[in-house]
């Protein structure tokens, strides 16, 4: 009599995280039930968002086949000393390399854009940029090889933005115990995209007219629309939401991806980790700490060396030029 019954919280709690990201949360009553290995939401996100890797690989793998197709050679190539249609080294280099230059620029621009628009909608924006590049390429008139070059560059902007944001979105959203595997799906889809482009080029090589290469190029629209439009069905990154004061939404997203209640011990640990990282980043920091902080130089050097050795292995040569170098009348 006269005593209030204790309230049991399942999910939202009156003692949960406050709306201010900088305010330390009070510890709610918690549960510690078993955590599912992977939820359907997390599985779908891993496969669907990795479509960004498929776009990268597909754009990488298609161009070497294009440069061996009769129609592509006649429209954008030039006659050699034997009177045959072919690509010179300069023209082939421009058509191929402008995609990579675009990806570099897109990845550099993508980071500040993601901080402003969010990871989710930035991916959609870059897919729209990629589609613009595809339109420029596929509408290039006969002889206007420079328009194809510009189209490849614009497409590269979209591919580069997606190549930065897709792993970022996956890393910030994935449950801790499958985070590495989920991000690895991106690289797997890059390889799958290269393989798929080769197969489609092989199937369209014997067709007549512009269908030889426009079918392969046009299918990129499908992948870009699937990724860009599908992102509307996915939640924003929990870490981005937390940084912008949407603490409850961030916790709710983590709960759904983990498949556990919002007052679960793991969710509270994740939210504490996000808050501590946010507070550390908002404190006064010196620019050189990315090198002088504990083990940061080692981490940066390791990443740079691994990426450099991967490029120096010469794998990209085969992706971009092997078909051209094997059959070009200029060689």
pLDDT, residue 10, reads 41
Residue 294 pLDDT: 83
- How many other C-beta atoms are found inside a 10 Å radius of the C-beta of residue 321? 18
DSSP class of 31: B
Report the 10 Å Cβ neighbour count for 305.
10
The pTM of the full predicted model, rounded to 2 decimals, is 0.82
DSSP state of 174: S
Question: What span, in angstroms and rounded, lies between the C-alpha atoms of 251 and 257?
Answer: 10
pLDDT of residue 138: 94
Q: What is the pLDDT of residue 120?
A: 92
Distances (CA, A) of 281 to 6, 51, 109, 289: 38, 31, 21, 11
Q: What is the pLDDT of residue 322?
A: 66
- Give the C-alpha separation, 134 to 153, whole Å: 10
Contact indicator for 55, 162 with CB cutoff of 8 Å:
yes
Q: What is the pLDDT of residues 228-247, one digit of tens each?
A: 998 988 999 999 999 998 99
Residues of the chain with pLDDT under 70: 1-28, 284, 321-331
**Backbone phi and psi for residue 22, each to the nearest 5 degrees, phi listed first:** -85, -10
Task: Give Rg (Cα) of the chain.
Answer: 24
pLDDT at 18: 45
DSSP 26: P
CATH dotted code for 35-234: 1.20.1250.20
282 CB-near residues (< 8 Å, 6+ apart): 22
């Amino acid at each position: 009599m006269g005593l209030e019954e204790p309230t049991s919280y399942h999910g939202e709690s009156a003692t949960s995280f406050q709306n201010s990201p900088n305010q330390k949360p009070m510890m709610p009553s918690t549960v510690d039930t078993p955590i599912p290995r992977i939820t359907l939401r997390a599985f779908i996100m891993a496969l669907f968002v990795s479509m960004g890797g498929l776009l990268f690989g597909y754009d990488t793998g298609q161009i070497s086949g294009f440069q061996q197709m009769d129609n592509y050679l006649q429209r954008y190539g030039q006659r050699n000393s034997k009177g045959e249609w072919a690509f010179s080294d300069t023209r082939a280099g421009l058509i191929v390399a402008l995609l990579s230059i675009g990806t570099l620029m897109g990845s550099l621009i993508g980071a500040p854009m993601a901080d402003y628009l969010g990871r989710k909608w930035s991916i959609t924006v870059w897919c729209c940029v990629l589609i613009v590049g595809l339109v420029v390429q596929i509408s290039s008139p006969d002889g206007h090889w420079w328009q194809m070059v510009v189209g490849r560059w614009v497409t590269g902007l979209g591919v580069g933005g997606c190549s930065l944001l897709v792993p970022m979105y996956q890393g910030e959203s994935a449950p801790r115990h499958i985070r590495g595997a989920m991000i690895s799906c991106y690289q797997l889809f890059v390889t799958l995209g290269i393989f798929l482009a080769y197969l489609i080029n092989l199937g369209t090589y014997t067709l007549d007219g512009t269908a030889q290469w426009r079918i392969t190029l046009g299918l990129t629209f499908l992948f870009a629309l699937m990724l860009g439009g599908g992102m509307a069905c996915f939640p924003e990154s929990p870490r981005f939401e937390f940084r912008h004061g949407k603490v409850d939404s961030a916790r709710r997203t983590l709960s759904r991806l983990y498949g556990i209640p919002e007052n679960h011990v793991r969710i509270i640990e994740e939210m504490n980790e996000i808050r501590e990282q946010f507070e550390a980043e908002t404190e006064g920091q010196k620019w050189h700490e990315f090198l002088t902080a504990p083990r940061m130089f080692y981490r940066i050097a390791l990443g740079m060396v691994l990426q450099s050795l991967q490029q120096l292995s010469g794998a990209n040569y085969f992706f971009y030029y092997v078909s051209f170098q094997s059959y070009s009348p200029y060689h």
